[in-house]
Amino acid sequence: MIPSMIWSLWLDGRENAPQIPSIAFKAWEELNPNFELRILDEQDVRQL
């Protein structure tokens, strides 16, 4: 089974995203309640 996950990248972290991306992240969560939203940041990328 394919995981129900939405992946995105915001290097500064979700909490530091400007208004427009923050609105998009929230909309993705509201429109896809059965999916997990994973937003990678710079630290996550370094671990990869």
Domain of residue 18: give its range. 5-47
Beta bridge partners of 16: none
> What pLDDT score does 48 carry?
87
Show the DSSP H helices in 1-48 as ranges. Answer: 19-31, 42-47
- Give the chain's domain count: 1
Planar angle of CA 23, 47, 10, nearest 5 degrees: 15
For residue range 1-22, what is the model confidence (pLDDT) as tens digits? 888 999 999 999 999 999 999 9
CB 22 within 8 A of CB 14: yes
- The conformation of residue 25, written as its DSSP 8-state character, comes to H
- The conformation of residue 35, written as its DSSP 8-state character, comes to S
For residue range 24-48, what is the model confidence (pLDDT) as tens digits? 999 999 999 999 999 999 999 999 8
